[in-house]
Amino acid sequence: VVYQLYQTFVNKGFATLRFNFRGVGRSQGVYDRGEGELSDAASALDWLQTIHTDAPQCWIAGFSFGAWIGMQLLMRRPEISGFISIAPPANMYDFSFLAPCPASGLIVHGDKDEVVPPASIEEMIAKVAKQRDVIIDRHMIQGADHFFGTQLEEVDQAVVSYLDRRMAEIDAELTKDDED
């Protein structure tokens, strides 16, 4: 899922960084219950922004635990234009920090997810979606479990469709602001 998400952003022309949290894969360190991982994500974003100072938009994307960390980073970084959250663990972690959510985004999940039941996602969206001028889109993939198995192409299509629409809207807003 993470690699698919990374490739989607690369294919859309974004300067993209994919990394493992501490203690995952070959990364050093140990799991830190989200505190150190949030710091790692902030440092990764800082590094990416120093390399690409002229990037017109900044997005955050994550899968499962990474979606939770990404949403926390979204709350701390006003330059983030939007988010893609794949199977956020709404039943395991508190997402109340998202009120008010500062940016619109997309949440993708499977209707057969046994790790994160769809009802917990719906409850989270209901809380967050009440913010003015912030729209949380949801795409439920039929038959998909937490890892999306054979439905990765549908995840990609949902993300591409959303990015195309949102990038056009953001570009139109920027053009309008330049004209004013």
pLDDT at position 109 is 98
Residues in a beta bridge with 84? 61, 106
Which amino acid is it at 178?
D
pLDDT at position 33 is 83
CA–CA dist 91, 38 (Å, integer):
19
pLDDT at position 162 is 98
pLDDT at position 133 is 81
pLDDT (tens digit per residue) in 100-119: 889 999 999 999 999 999 99
Residue range of the domain that includes 92: 2-179
**Structure-token match 């009120």, residue found:** 99
CATH of the domain at 50: 3.40.50.1820
Strand 82-86 relative to strand 105-110: parallel, antiparallel, unpaired?
parallel
Q: Which residues of the chain have pLDDT under 70?
A: none
Number of domains in the chain: 1
pLDDT (tens digit per residue) in 2-20: 999 999 999 999 999 999 8
pLDDT at position 134 is 87
Task: Identify how many contiguous H helices and E strands the chain contains and give both numbers.
Answer: 5, 4
Provide the percentage of residues in the chain whose pLDDT is more than 70.
99
What residue spans of 59-151 are helical by DSSP H? 65-76, 118-128
pLDDT at position 172 is 87
